[in-house]
Amino acid sequence: MLSLRSPISETLAAKQSRRIHAVAPDAMVAEAVRRMVEEAIGALLVIGDHELLGIFTERDVLARVISLNLDPSQTRIRQVMTPEPLCLRPTTPIGEALKIAAGGGYRHFPVVENDRLVGLVSVRDLMSWLVRAQQDQIDGLIQSMRSQYRRKRYLVDPDDLEA
């Protein structure tokens, strides 16, 4: 059932790809951007020594590379990434995640459980899940109404009919 109290783990489970897209901190921005374009994604997690160091997003490209006239082929991810990103737990309610996103201007959240990275969700993932869940609920209500009215037989008194 549709609920903003549903955990983001449901959103992770519904994603088409559970793959975690990552980049090394010493990778060049040009290489990372190329990957983001090829894979049609808006963020890469920055992983070094088996540890989440940061996140590199489309916004980082604009605000920290292009706007400062840095050369993407000469700039390392570690120089322009967002360090220590805000992480959510799989049990975080979808509604809470959306509030955090709206309040802080976030679009992507690493999801961590027991100090282990388990995924990445975007605001788009959360909204897509809500739309699908709402559509499922609407379809169920329509089906219920159709079956309820099909089963009923209505008696008509012939004296109540006009000729």
Coil/strand/helix, residue 89: coil
Between 19 and 1, residue with greater pLDDT: 19
Average pLDDT score over residue span 17-22: 88
Domain spans of the chain? 8-151
Q: Which fold has domain 8-151?
A: CBS-domain (3.10.580)
Distance CA 156, CA 139 (A): 31
Cβ–Cβ < 8 Å for 91, 9? yes
Between 127 and 54, residue with greater pLDDT: 54
Distance CA 67, CA 140 (A): 49
Whether the predicted pLDDT of 90 surpasses 80:
yes
What is the value of pTM for the model shown? Answer: 0.81
Residue 69 has a pLDDT of 98
Nearest to 120 by CA among 131, 111, 130: 111
Between 41 and 141, residue with greater pLDDT: 41
DSSP string, 127-161: HHHHHHHHHHHHHHHHHHHHHHHHH------GGGS
Whether the predicted pLDDT of 152 surpasses 70:
no
Task: For Cα atoms 98, 77, 82, give the angle at the middle one, nearest 5 degrees.
Answer: 30
Between 75 and 136, residue with greater pLDDT: 75
Q: What is the dihedral of CA 3, 4, 7, 11, to 10 degrees?
A: 90
- Binned at pLDDT 50, 70 and 90, residue 150 comes out as low
Distance CA 125, CA 92 (A): 14
